[in-house]
Structure 1
């Protein structure tokens, strides 16, 4: 099924139950795929072109040094400008393959076939590509939209429960951005992730990206939960999965919204969030480990005349509002200290009830 996207949108979006070879590039192409998916891909009758790269990548390997051998390989083939790179894997691989495609010959076309719920709901759509630096996540990257996104639900069947839960938080994020509380509450209940939720999330993100492709305004809303989330993820030594960190960031930002004077979220909703997140409590780093990472967040800016570790540093934050669309505010990173403490308390309370 081809998803309806805005006229002129850079990426064709398809939602499928099973892989369809007719959706692969018509001209010359090569594949960069997660090695764990090789058998799934070939057993589905999908082609494995010459010079395919089957790779193993993790968040810890999401570095420039990891993609340099890919670029050298393409140059030896050689891969020409009219070729297309097909990326098969989760969010880490799609971020890296997209950046490699943007760099090679100053940009070759690419397709993304996301195989995790997190990638389907977020990383694969929008043209953001990137790798990490020691100072923080995704500090090196480029906007390079894929020509086509093909999301096949069959790829989700072998995912561990934790990885399905990991992707659920990007869906909840989309509901909170729009103030769609009934939808958010539905997704916080026990039960499998629904295909319709993914479709709704992709349709919303496509509209936002089309209106703001370079993240100059509205698209910044998609960072909801990511400010504190990225800090928690890095401070955990990446023991937290990205979506899990976003989920914790969503709870934290609901608490922050109340503290800066916005309408408070009902205790029942906060408890529902905390209940699903409670198993992650042991991985939540203490505040002193998070603050330096917030100060180095790519959305942070330094106020002239202030020391780098002083409150003069400001950070762009997205704040949800109960039953209303989220808003954007620029705040000192230190405002996150109290929500961080309250988040830990809520997780402890829910864990004690389990």
Structure 2
């Protein structure tokens, strides 16, 4: 399957990924090769990688899985370990895990010794179709997502769909939400294809999602304009995710589950403010609700979620900026939303 060429690196899939990894490490002659895993990828994915990677691994670093561990304290642990293991500027860090691990591993590599090489091997559908492209690295600040980080490109990203066999259906659907987003913002036919076909976790669809995101990022690598469309559903979705993560009385939502809610809510805002047709709006709502359970929100929940909007990274000059849709496949950025519409959007979602 054809590789996807991003800014300074390529995303390789299956056999091409195996060949690229072994060739790259052999040619670069790194002083040390470190492998970062969590307890899940150590058990389920590391044995697979050992059959793929022929080169030496000097040390395996392990962190605890989960969004709640994506913070600077984990980075401190990793920086200290790299230092104690005599890591230097000619070292390589291979990140084997989902988006939390690759985001954090990329940040650790980008800042250790002012930057060492890293390679990402995403093991979840979400990280394959989302974190694989764009070079965004970083950690959360408390429960506020991705507040600290840098944009820095890996040496390469390697996609092995067989890792998806280790996931439960909930994790797989979390990645499906991001794939649906790619259709909503850029490609109506892809949206239709994904909502009509059940086999979205196969290599062809993964490659198509990577290509859509890559096309956007290549035109706007530092998120000055067009790249913002990739945040559709994420302004409210991230606030919902943070609220549920920080509230002991709420069930924690996976990223895709939260942005699925966000995309319906922001679809309603799109209908009110940008002329998204009611037909398209209802299609978006039904497209998500046939795959994702509806989440219940009280008025107090909604008020608390809306207070978190002020921390969104797209904000500028004190304004909360939204990405909205004019039609399925056509997104617009930097839209300000009157406060009275938020509760109406939640009411539409709950209908």
Q: Under a length normalisation based on structure 1, what TM-score does the superposition of the two structures give? A: 0.87
Q: Is the 8 A contact 2:185 2:331 kept in 1?
A: yes
Q: Aligned-pair distance for 1:283?
A: 7.0
Counterpart mapping for 1:238-253 below 5 A: 239-253=252-266
Counterpart mapping for 1:14-93 below 5 A: 14-16=12-14, 20=18, 23-24=21-22, 25-26=25-26, 27-28=29-30, 29-39=33-43, 40-43=45-48, 44-45=50-51, 46=53, 49-93=57-101
Quote the Cα distance in structure 1 between the aligned partners of 2:278 and 2:337.
22
Q: 2:350 aligns with which of 334, 344, 349?
A: 344
Number of aligned pairs?
332
Quote the Cα distance in structure 2 between the aligned partners of 1:263 and 1:118.
27
Gaps of 5+ in 2: 247-251
Q: Aligned-pair distance for 1:166?
A: 0.5
Q: Aligned-pair distance for 1:131?
A: 0.6
Other structure's SS at 1:314 match: coil
Q: Aligned-pair distance for 1:254?
A: 1.1
Q: Is the 8 A contact 1:315 1:333 kept in 2?
A: no
1:166 equivalent to 2:174? Answer yes
Q: Is the 8 A contact 1:126 1:213 kept in 2?
A: yes
- Greater mean deviation of Cα atoms: 181-190 or 206-215: 181-190
How big is each residue's C-alpha offset from its partner over 1:158-206, in whole Å with a ceiling of 9 and x where there is no partner? 110011100001111111111x333213312462213222111111222
1:258 equivalent to 2:271? Answer yes
Residue equivalent to 1:287: 302
Q: Aligned-pair distance for 1:74?
A: 0.9
Pair 1:338–1:62, CA change in 2 (3 A):
same
How big is each residue's C-alpha offset from its partner over 1:84-105, in whole Å with a ceiling of 9 and x where there is no partner? 1110000000010010011101
1:221 equivalent to 2:237? Answer no
Quote the Cα distance in structure 2 between the aligned partners of 1:214 and 1:32.
26
Q: Is the 8 A contact 1:2 1:12 kept in 2?
A: no
- Show structure 1 runs of 4+ deviating over 3 A: 282-285
Q: Is the 8 A contact 1:235 1:289 kept in 2?
A: yes
How big is each residue's C-alpha offset from its partner over 1:274-293, in whole Å with a ceiling of 9 and x where there is no partner? 42355242478831121111
Q: Aligned-pair distance for 1:49?
A: 1.3
Quote the Cα distance in structure 1 between the aligned partners of 2:329 and 2:104.
35
Q: Aligned-pair distance for 1:21?
A: 6.6
Quote the Cα distance in structure 2 between the aligned partners of 1:76 and 1:34.
20
Q: 1:317 aligns with which of 319, 322, 336?
A: 322
Other structure's SS at 1:81 match: coil
- Greater mean deviation of Cα atoms: 248-257 or 192-201: 192-201
Other structure's SS at 2:295 match: helix
How big is each residue's C-alpha offset from its partner over 1:33-71, in whole Å with a ceiling of 9 and x where there is no partner? 123222432255246712211222210111001111111
CA RMSD for the aligned pairs? 2.3
Q: 1:155 aligns with which of 152, 163, 172?
A: 163
Q: Is the 8 A contact 2:268 2:345 kept in 1?
A: yes
Q: Aligned-pair distance for 1:152?
A: 0.4
Residue equivalent to 1:348: none
Pair 1:265–1:111, CA change in 2 (3 A):
farther
Q: Is the 8 A contact 1:3 1:14 kept in 2?
A: yes
Q: Is the 8 A contact 1:236 1:283 kept in 2?
A: no
Quote the Cα distance in structure 2 between the aligned partners of 1:148 and 1:87.
11
- Greater mean deviation of Cα atoms: 273-282 or 96-105: 273-282
Gaps of 5+ in 1: 303-312, 346-354
Pair 1:20–1:37, CA change in 2 (3 A):
same
Pair 1:199–1:57, CA change in 2 (3 A):
same
